[in-house]
Amino acid sequence: MQLPITRITLSNGLLVLLKEIHTSPIISHWLWYRVGSRDETAGSTGISHWVEHMQFKGTPQFMAGVLDKAISREGGAWNAFTFLDWTTYYETMPAEKIDLGLRLESDRMINSKFDPDDVESERTVIISERQGNENEPLFLLGEEVQAAAFRVHSYHHEIIGDMADLQTMQRDDLYTHYRSYYIPNNAVLAIAGDFDSARMIERVRELYESIPAGSAPIRKNWPEPDLPGERAVTVEGPGETTYVQLAYHAPAAQGPDFFSFTVLDSLLTGPSNLNMFGGGISNKTSRLYRALVERELAVSVYGGMQATIDPFLYTITVTVHPRRTTSEVIAAVEEEIRKVQEMPPNLDELVRAVKQARALFAYGSESISNQAFWMGFTEMFASYEWFENYLSSLAAVTPADVQKIASTYLRPQNRVVGIYQPTGEGEESP
């Protein structure tokens, strides 16, 4: 089922991954940088995301606006994402037009202008982006929970950054960040679609190989100590709906526990979907849905984990039923966790989790963009083999593994309990 990939490293250190897919005349081109909010310190939170925005503000060769228009004119889709561990830029285009994506991405690896006026106008755009997020109760709660979960590790702040930093960072801060991390030996180029690999390699060399390597950025790591005990945070805000978020420290993507945890997640709250394109499935038979929503303690429950370099969080988010309390909800979650800790799940529950994952992969593979996404994404925290072995790694998980993982990680001492407490009635219908 899986198509072979070509993997080469250019003389300047740029890792290139190619996958030929000839089902549609489309090519998807992704450039990944090993930099994200994990690389930020107090005073410069949000800088990686802001740099990502500045990458759309033009180079001497491709003026701002010209870029957007050129891609759109060719019928392409393009965007960029900043995450905890990485930043990525992609163009998916009709196959014969992809050269524009290659020229643009190689150019802005090194030539972006960071014009001071553009920095100022983008400052207010990003502040507006943050204000839009602040309108959402779950953003406000999630931000506080994450901060409480990480006292030491740089995963403690939101990717968009703190308002104080967005108001004070300067052009040179951004430019220095850009020049430090946007170098070929800190990047991965992943291209999938309707091309000939030999010719694509040649073109990649022409455009990218002349960019000099830089001194490899030191990616600092501040390991988070074990929590000394349960932490609790309360966020008060507008509305009449109460939310509970339980965030447990979870294993890193590359550790031995990740796949067992993935199965546990599937059992408790339904399968997490790691695809960038292609939606997930419902979770109405998951243990927590049955325990919370069917028993009318909650209106909804979702769980999720991320594939990250360092241990991040497994988060259970509950919309509390209007007539129920947060302590009833938390007690019911704990009861379900206790069941997994005391009794290993049935084998058929594990078989089910693997089948769910297989289906989600099949949906994701409909899209060439998504296939290109996986190549670079996995390199950010492991390697492409991680993806190729995903299903067999899941299938190797035993009931005892799941039980052990639940006992190891899902302890009150390993979590933050967050509560969004609404302060009152909203506006009635107009």
297-316: contacts with other proteins (CB under 8 A):
299-300
DSSP state of 185: G
Q: Taking a C-beta distance cutoff of 8 angstroms, is the pair 421, 234 a contact? A: yes
Q: Taking a C-beta distance cutoff of 8 angstroms, is the pair 418, 145 a contact? A: yes
Candidate residues 49, 108, 157, 321; the one interacting with other proteins per rule CB under 8 A? 321
**Measured over all CA atoms, what is the biggest interatomic distance in the chain, rounded to whole angstroms?**
65
Q: Does 293 bind other proteins (CB under 8 A)?
A: yes
CA 256, 258, 261 angle in degrees (round to 5)?
120
Of residues 159 through 198, those in contact with other proteins by CB under 8 A are 194
Return the number of other C-beta atoms located less than 10 Å from residue 430's C-beta.
Answer: 3
* Window of 221-229, 280-288, 376-384, 391-399 that interacts with other proteins by CB under 8 A: 280-288
Q: Does 421 bind other proteins (CB under 8 A)?
A: no
What's the min distance (Å) between Cβ of 74 and other proteins?
5
Q: At what angle do helices 326-342 and 399-409 cross, to 10 degrees?
A: 140
Q: Which CB sits closer to other proteins, 71 or 333?
A: 71
* Dist. CA 106–CA 203, nearest whole Å: 11
Q: Does 240 bind other proteins (CB under 8 A)?
A: yes
* Window of 6-14, 170-178, 224-232, 292-300 that interacts with other proteins by CB under 8 A: 292-300
Q: Does 129 bind other proteins (CB under 8 A)?
A: yes
Q: Which CB sits closer to other proteins, 24 or 221?
A: 24
The helix/strand count (H/E) of the chain reads as 16, 11
* Dist. CA 158–CA 377, nearest whole Å: 20
Q: Does 294 bind other proteins (CB under 8 A)?
A: yes
* Window of 147-155, 305-313, 349-357, 395-403 that interacts with other proteins by CB under 8 A: 349-357
Give the number of residues in contact with other proteins, rule: CB under 8 A: 83
- Overall residue count recorded for the chain in this entry: 430
Q: Taking a C-beta distance cutoff of 8 angstroms, is the pair 311, 305 a contact? A: no
Candidate residues 72, 210, 234, 325; the one interacting with other proteins per rule CB under 8 A? 72
What's the min distance (Å) between Cβ of 182 and other proteins?
21
Q: Which CB sits closer to other proteins, 383 or 421?
A: 421
Q: Taking a C-beta distance cutoff of 8 angstroms, is the pair 9, 16 a contact? A: yes
User: Residue 127: which H helix or E strand, with range?
Assistant: helix 116-134
207, two tokens: 């455009």
The DSSP secondary structure of 316-336, one letter per residue, reads EEEEE-TTS-HHHHHHHHHHH
Who contacts 344 (Cβ-Cβ below 8 Å, separation ≥6)? 398, 399, 400, 402, 403
* Window of 35-43, 100-108, 123-131, 149-157 that interacts with other proteins by CB under 8 A: 123-131
Rg of the chain taking only CA atoms, in angstroms: 23
Candidate residues 369, 378, 403, 414; the one interacting with other proteins per rule CB under 8 A? 369
Candidate residues 116, 366, 392, 400; the one interacting with other proteins per rule CB under 8 A? 366
Q: Does 9 bind other proteins (CB under 8 A)?
A: no
Strand order across the 15-20 sheet? 6-9, 15-20, 187-193, 26-33, 87-94, 77-82
Q: Which CB sits closer to other proteins, 249 or 321?
A: 321
293, two tokens: 């929503």
* Window of 42-50, 213-221, 284-292, 389-397 that interacts with other proteins by CB under 8 A: 284-292
Q: Which CB sits closer to other proteins, 96 or 206?
A: 96
Nearest to 234 by CA among 247, 222, 244: 244
* Window of 197-205, 221-229, 238-246, 386-394 that interacts with other proteins by CB under 8 A: 238-246
Candidate residues 2, 41, 61, 131; the one interacting with other proteins per rule CB under 8 A? 131
Candidate residues 196, 355, 392, 400; the one interacting with other proteins per rule CB under 8 A? 355
Candidate residues 41, 63, 69, 202; the one interacting with other proteins per rule CB under 8 A? 69
What's the min distance (Å) between Cβ of 8 and other proteins?
26
